[in-house]
Structure 1
Amino acid sequence: MRTIDLSPLYRSFIGSDHLASLVDAATRAEKQSSYPPYNIELLAEDKYRITMAIAGFSQDDVTIEVQENTLTVTGKKDSDNKDVERKFLHKGISERNFERKFQLGDHVKVLSADMENGLLHIDMERVIPEAKKPRQIEIGSRLIENK
């Protein structure tokens, strides 16, 4: 197992403790399976889309939840359909339950989700508050706060 020495980050960057904690969490995270397959697209400068191939799942079988900076997509099939015994000559479509987690960046908001042709589309946008946007400070100027 590889370890990453993050001490140069702590010396070089202000606020790198958040970056370091994200790297630590990523290295400690359990290995996720590759099911279901997904794409992450950049639609515009601050707009993103996750597309997941979830053939065989209906809208009622899928749950999408955002908590803090983690997007969790869970698919659970009803066990009622398992009562019917089926014989497959070839089974290439997986019908297993899944849970896929995505770590969202700061200020990323989930806008919408829809399903079409066995694909789940989740649209997101990064909305940076005005207070967090860069601003230019002129030399010789003074910030005066109203009390």
Structure 2
Amino acid sequence: MGRMSLFNSPLLLGFEHFERTLDRANRAASDGYPPYNIEKVAEDALRITLAVAGFARDDLSIVLEENQLVIRGRQAKDDDRVYVHRGIAARQFQRAFVLADGIEVEGAELENGLLHVDLVRPQPATVARSIEIKSATDIPDGSSGSGIAVDVTGETESSASMTDESVD
């Protein structure tokens, strides 16, 4: 018997991407290694911190695949050591975080066994410019009868006064 999914309904065609994203997030959440924190460090910035004690910088990789941040760790085998007791886990891992649209990875730093990955959501610059509205009788050579210049901030410039200030 196949597994049940919310997306198996014939009314939900084209949602396979969401199902795959949810499956990946569920698989990543089921394994608790390595532990991590997600911290809001500013209004538009987050920091993911993973506890990766014992991993060197060369043992770690961070890849952004579509909107998914994938952090992998793999330690090289040290066959020269003979352990009497081995209690420190030295296993490979993979952690995946699904990022919202617009989130960018700013950088990463390894410090005292903690891997910090900084994320930022840049604020779009707002630029106001005036757009001229031409009438249907305007001639393509540039000479026109009456034109209205509309400022996208909601203000209008015209020889005739306009009372409605809402511009969509």
TM over 0.5, shorter chain: yes
User: In the alignment, which of 88, 94, 105 is matched to residue 89 of structure 2?
Assistant: 94
- Checking the alignment, whether the CA contact within 8 Å between 1:48 and 1:125 is kept in structure 2 is yes
TM-score w.r.t. length of structure 1: 0.70
- Checking the alignment, whether the CA contact within 8 Å between 1:49 and 1:124 is kept in structure 2 is yes
Percent identical among aligned pairs is: 37
Q: 1:142 to 1:46 in 2, by over 3 A?
A: closer
Q: 1:39 to 1:142 in 2, by over 3 A?
A: closer
- Tell me the CA shift for residue 87 of structure 1: 1.6
- Tell me the CA shift for residue 105 of structure 1: 0.9
Counting matched residue pairs gives 127
Which one has more relative contact order, counting CA pairs under 8 Å at least 6 apart? 1
Unaligned runs of 5+ in 2: 127-151, 156-163
- Tell me the CA shift for residue 99 of structure 1: 0.9
Runs of at least 4 residues off by over 6 Å: none
Structure having the higher Rg: 2
Q: Which has the higher helix share?
A: 1
- Counterpart for residue 48 of structure 2: 50
Q: Distance in 2 between matches of 1:50 and 1:21?
A: 28
Q: Deviations over 1:99-138 (max 9, x none)?
A: 111111111111111111100011110114347xxx9767
Q: Distance in 1 between matches of 2:39 and 2:65?
A: 22
Unaligned runs of 5+ in 1: 11-16
Q: Distance in 1 between matches of 2:23 and 2:65?
A: 19
Q: Distance in 1 between matches of 2:46 and 2:20?
A: 23
Amino acid across the alignment from 1:119: L
- Checking the alignment, whether the CA contact within 8 Å between 1:107 and 1:128 is kept in structure 2 is no
